[in-house]
Amino acid sequence: MAFEGLSDKLGRVFKGLRGKGKLNEKDVRDAMREVKLALIEADVNFKVTRDFIVKLTERAIGSEVMNSLTPAQQVIDIVNDEMIQLMGGKGARIDFPAKPPCIIMLCGLQGAGKTTHAAKLAKHLKTMNRRPLLVACDIYRPAAIEQLKIVGEKAGAKVFELGQINPVKIATESIKFAKDNGYDVVILDTAGRLHIDEELMNELKGIKAKVEPNEILLTIDAMTGQDAVNVAQSFNEALGISGVILTKLDGDSRGGAALSVLAVTGRPVKFAGVGEKLDDLEQFHPERMASRILGMGDMLSLIDKAKTAVDEKEQEKIARRLQENKFDMNDLYSQFEQIEKMGNISNVLKMLPGMGNKIKDEDIDERKMPRMKAIISSMTKKERAKPAIIDAKRKRRIAAGSGNSVESVNELLRQYEMMRKMMSGMMGKGGKKKRFPKLPGMGGMGGFPQF
């Protein structure tokens, strides 16, 4: 996960500060030196890092910190505040015009995930009750049009294409089509190159001049590190981009581009790609990202994920079954599906406060949930409804049918029983819920399985 190394290093710096109690100026300057090294190792632009550390140091050696009863926490709060400002302060949104359609022109180099993220953006906009139209303006890359059709279909978005004619013509015709057919957002998937060249920029300038897009969003790969910022700077100088979609922020990138783009280009990161699925696109929130980097979790993003993934009717149904003490393996299977919709388990757990620096990707077995679902699927209807009847003979049959061991079946049954008791304990007399912390994606009933 991006920023994992930075989070670990900052965590150690803050731990050292907490251990000192009162701080003097030398303590703060030593800590800022460590923060500076951590940022540079995370591929944050050197000038951005230098300016950031100057601001931090000025604030951290002020009387507000030195005279505080909790100086280490004050330093952490200052780092958090300055990091939020570095990334833009508030989340930048798409600038929708009063009169549709809103024209969004996507640009970027080949390999940055532009076509896939065009479909991701379309799917995201559909959740906002928008009607997006994807437009195939890349007439050069082999199978680019076909790829857009495939991902567009998966996203449930119409794709407009006119074959391999002039991209400017395709763009202008798509606007007419959108107006005539009630599409309120037009997403232009333009051609990319392996590197920035005059031919590419001239074509993009031609499209911009003809259709006058409301947004020009640059798609850049976070895993290219410092080069991502250089690419953003070049595109901004040529086209005047309005924002950035940062892709592969879930990978092992060092994440410096997210902290550098705004300071270098003056243009914010608006969206972040955080996985391979079409649902894995998040609006970029500086305050939430800063919280993740500093290991404070990100409950707001977790709740957003839950809102889009959780089937409220299904959760109400399970809650009723709990009230009647009828929670069975079918309900457990449904809960696993709800969790899966929220995306990568490791990323979800890292959003919980205090868990960011403690959970490592290698500690999470992403294959475990599919295995547990396979075990449940191998059960008969009667066994799913009444797990108590599953004896040693049935366990052997279930294990063989699901391609798992009897030990795995036993583990699932233990977790089912533990979750059933815990969930039942959350219900007071008369079927009323007791006051209990709500865990998104589990219908207020908690109970993540062990991974």
pLDDT band at 348 (very low <50, low <70, confident <90, very high): low
Highest mean pLDDT among 288-302, 362-376, 417-431: 362-376
Q: How far is CA 419 from CA 207, 281, 329, 394, 426, in A?
A: 56, 31, 11, 22, 11
344 pLDDT above the threshold of 70: no
CB atoms under 10 Å from CB of 377, counted, come to 13
20 pLDDT above the threshold of 70: yes
Closest CA to 112 of 188, 190, 186, 39: 190
Residues 25 and 63 sit within 8 Å (Cβ to Cβ): no
For residues 430-450, average pLDDT: 41
More confident residue, 13 or 171: 171
pLDDT band at 343 (very low <50, low <70, confident <90, very high): low
Residues 322 and 424 sit within 8 Å (Cβ to Cβ): yes
Q: Any idea which of 125-139, 173-187, 303-317 has the lowest mean pLDDT?
A: 303-317
* Residue 310 to residue 319: CA distance in whole angstroms: 14
* Residue 161 to residue 258: CA distance in whole angstroms: 33
pLDDT, tens digit, for every residue of 41-87?
Answer: 888 888 889 999 999 888 888 766 666 667 778 888 888 888 888 88
Q: Which parts of 61-160 fold into alpha helices (H)?
A: 63-66, 71-86, 114-126, 144-155
442 pLDDT above the threshold of 70: no
Highest mean pLDDT among 170-184, 309-323, 409-423: 170-184
Pairing of strands 281-283, 269-273: antiparallel
Per-residue pLDDT, 24? 83
More confident residue, 186 or 425: 186
pLDDT band at 362 (very low <50, low <70, confident <90, very high): low
The number of C-alpha atoms within 13 Å of 382 and in the hemisphere containing its C-beta is 4
Q: What percent of the chain has pLDDT over 90?
A: 38
- Alpha-carbon torsion (366, 285, 95, 220), positive or negative: negative
* Residue 292 to residue 351: CA distance in whole angstroms: 7
For residues 1-17, average pLDDT: 78
Per-residue pLDDT, 298? 46
More confident residue, 132 or 247: 132
> Given strand 185-189, what is the order of strands in its sheet?
158-160, 132-136, 185-189, 102-107, 215-221, 243-247, 269-273, 281-283
pLDDT band at 251 (very low <50, low <70, confident <90, very high): low
In order of start, what are the domains of the chain with their CATH numbers?
A: 4-86 (1.20.120.140), 102-296 (3.40.50.300), 310-431 (1.10.260.30)
pLDDT band at 308 (very low <50, low <70, confident <90, very high): low
pLDDT band at 359 (very low <50, low <70, confident <90, very high): low
pLDDT band at 441 (very low <50, low <70, confident <90, very high): very low
Mean pLDDT of the chain: 82
